[in-house]
A and B are shown apart, each in its own frame.
Chain A
């Protein structure tokens, strides 16, 4: 449980945040802003757009705070989901632009510092798990997560049957999930 700090349901700041106490925002922002920005930058590849997503994500998090369900995601998991969805919306609006999805994969980072230090050890395990996926399955996952592509679109891009793609994405994520759960409970 040593890596579970940021994934805790019992973060005492969350009820205050949800109750409309903006004084906890500074701390939550400081803990998660780099993560949100990094994610947006990776999806969008543009600092100025990533900064817009950073701002939109926090404003949206505040506006939707009563909808946040701690039983369905840690705060980090929730804000990641909001940021990803905002960033992907922008990608989809760049209809004319060449897709960047295929270029931004889950490749081994050149630097080894994960965005959230508390997750360091867990991240190492997860990185190893990602690296152990079959290349095609990894690509399907990359397109689904970073590219936000539907299964049918991935199937088209990769020239693989829809059913195969569905299985790759689903079993890939479940495998990563199992690894996370295992590491967190060990």
Chain B
């Protein structure tokens, strides 16, 4: 019973160093997957030790421009993934995924109904991310095309993702054509991004992204999972020079997505952050300050 354990235990250092060939690595993975507590604990200790060893080097701050690009690319692929999963009824393994599928499955049916009756509203409108997402997803495809024995496994496992990404790129390309002026916002040399984070007052499902070009003062904000409600509205704010400025009430589409495009945010001070507040119907009576709780907020970074 201890046969494989005793043998494989000796290989764990080489396993975490990536020194094992595919067949040996698979044996170790299988043994770990069987739940051997001792080996799992040792592998964890070794991985963490190596992370610490790596952390002994000098800190080099990651280029700030990379953040927005990477996170936008991933958010785009996540959004696409959910859409795809919504269309694949009953093919999910974990309870977690099933739950998400159910939620998004309904969205997908809504979308289909809208499509069937010829509703003119675009099904998936986020053209403002076009180029940045293309860059990220093209990188994802390149990543998967990389040579090397070690990547073979990954490639098989990720084949699905590649297909998704390719589909997404085709979709994004058409959207970029469709709305070149908003795509230009992304490629503007000094465009800044913000992911708006939920505050404790937020509905945890709500998410938002913003992009802003300080030179043209053009901005686009996408808010997802906005629950329509007859008693309240969500209002978008730009924070510039330390003061909030209303950019209007967010009107979600049937999928709960609200898109706000501002040709030029008024004022002279650069916008530092965007925020969303929960307000009575029609928005805050005072257009220079929210009257209700701020539910999402995010500072711009390049």
Q: Is A10 an interface residue (CB 8 A)?
A: no
Q: Are A52 and B67 in contact (CB under 8 A)?
A: no
- A58 to B73 CA separation, bound complex (whole angstroms): 10
- A-contacting 9-mer, from B77-85, B112-120, B246-254: B77-85
Contacts of B81 in A (CB 8 A): 20
User: How many A residues are at the interface, by size bracket?
Assistant: 35 or more
Q: In the assembled complex, how far is the CB of residue B154 from the closest CB belonging to chain A, in whole angstroms? A: 7
Q: Is A162 an interface residue (CB 8 A)?
A: no
**A53-92 residues at the B interface, CB under 8 angstroms:** 54-56, 58-60, 62-64, 67, 69, 71-74, 76-78, 80-81, 84-85, 88-89, 92
**Which 6 interchain pairs have the tightest Cβ spacing?**
A77-B47, A73-B47, A37-B62, A80-B51, A33-B62, A22-B78
Contacts of B40 in A (CB 8 A): 69, 71-72
Q: Is the interface of A mostly helix, strand, loop or mixed?
A: helix
Contacts of A114 in B (CB 8 A): 55-56, 59
Q: In the assembled complex, how far is the CB of residue B260 from the closest CB belonging to chain A, in whole angstroms? A: 19
Q: Is A177 an interface residue (CB 8 A)?
A: yes
Q: Which residue of B lies closest to A24 (CB)?
A: B197
Given A19-B96, A116-B55, A148-B18, also A7-B157 (CB < 8 A): no
Q: Is B167 an interface residue (CB 8 A)?
A: no
Q: Are A119 and B52 in contact (CB under 8 A)?
A: yes
- A31 to B59 CA separation, bound complex (whole angstroms): 12
Q: Is A174 an interface residue (CB 8 A)?
A: yes
Q: Are A34 and B60 in contact (CB under 8 A)?
A: yes
Supply 14 further A-B pairs (C-beta < 8 A) apart from A33-B66, A39-B54, A88-B18: A22-B78, A23-B197, A26-B71, A34-B59, A51-B62, A59-B143, A72-B40, A73-B48, A113-B58, A115-B54, A173-B46, A176-B52, A177-B49, A180-B45
Q: Are B60 and A37 in contact (CB under 8 A)?
A: yes
Given A59-B143, A114-B59, also A72-B19 (CB < 8 A): no
User: How many B residues are at the interface, by size bracket?
Assistant: 35 or more
Q: Are A35 and B54 in contact (CB under 8 A)?
A: yes
Q: Are B47 and A123 in contact (CB under 8 A)?
A: no
Q: In the assembled complex, how far is the CB of residue B225 from the closest CB belonging to chain A, in whole angstroms? A: 10
Contacts of A72 in B (CB 8 A): 32, 40, 43-44, 47
Contacts of B59 in A (CB 8 A): 34-35, 38, 111, 113-115
Q: Is B264 an interface residue (CB 8 A)?
A: no
Q: Is A93 an interface residue (CB 8 A)?
A: yes
Q: Is A122 an interface residue (CB 8 A)?
A: yes
- A84 to B54 CA separation, bound complex (whole angstroms): 9
Q: Are A180 and B158 in contact (CB under 8 A)?
A: no
Contacts of A36 in B (CB 8 A): 62
Contacts of A19 in B (CB 8 A): 96-97, 100
Show 23 residue pairs from A and B whose CB-CB distance is below 8 angstroms, ordered by the A residue. Answer: A22-B75, A23-B198, A26-B197, A29-B70, A30-B67, A42-B57, A51-B66, A52-B139, A55-B70, A56-B139, A56-B143, A59-B73, A59-B74, A72-B40, A72-B43, A72-B44, A73-B43, A74-B47, A77-B44, A81-B50, A89-B146, A93-B148, A177-B49
- A177 to B82 CA separation, bound complex (whole angstroms): 40
- A92 to B146 CA separation, bound complex (whole angstroms): 12
Contacts of B57 in A (CB 8 A): 38-39, 42, 109, 115
Q: Footprint of A on B, CB under 8 Å? A: 13-14, 16-19, 32, 40-41, 43-63, 66-67, 69-71, 73-75, 77-78, 81-82, 96-97, 100, 136, 139-140, 143, 146-148, 150-151, 154, 157-158, 161, 195, 197-198, 207
- A119 to B62 CA separation, bound complex (whole angstroms): 18
Q: In the assembled complex, how far is the CB of residue A146 from the closest CB belonging to chain B, in whole angstroms? A: 9
Q: Which residue of B lies closest to A174 (CB)?
A: B13
Q: Are B18 and A25 in contact (CB under 8 A)?
A: no
Q: Are A123 and B55 in contact (CB under 8 A)?
A: yes
Q: Is A136 an interface residue (CB 8 A)?
A: no
- A58 to B188 CA separation, bound complex (whole angstroms): 24
- A78 to B44 CA separation, bound complex (whole angstroms): 9
- A148 to B50 CA separation, bound complex (whole angstroms): 13
Given A56-B143, A77-B48, A77-B50, also A106-B56 (CB < 8 A): yes
Given A29-B71, A74-B44, also A130-B60 (CB < 8 A): no
Q: Are A51 and B63 in contact (CB under 8 A)?
A: yes
Q: Which residue of B lies closest to A39 (CB)?
A: B54
- A153 to B39 CA separation, bound complex (whole angstroms): 27
Q: Are B50 and A173 in contact (CB under 8 A)?
A: yes
- A25 to B73 CA separation, bound complex (whole angstroms): 12
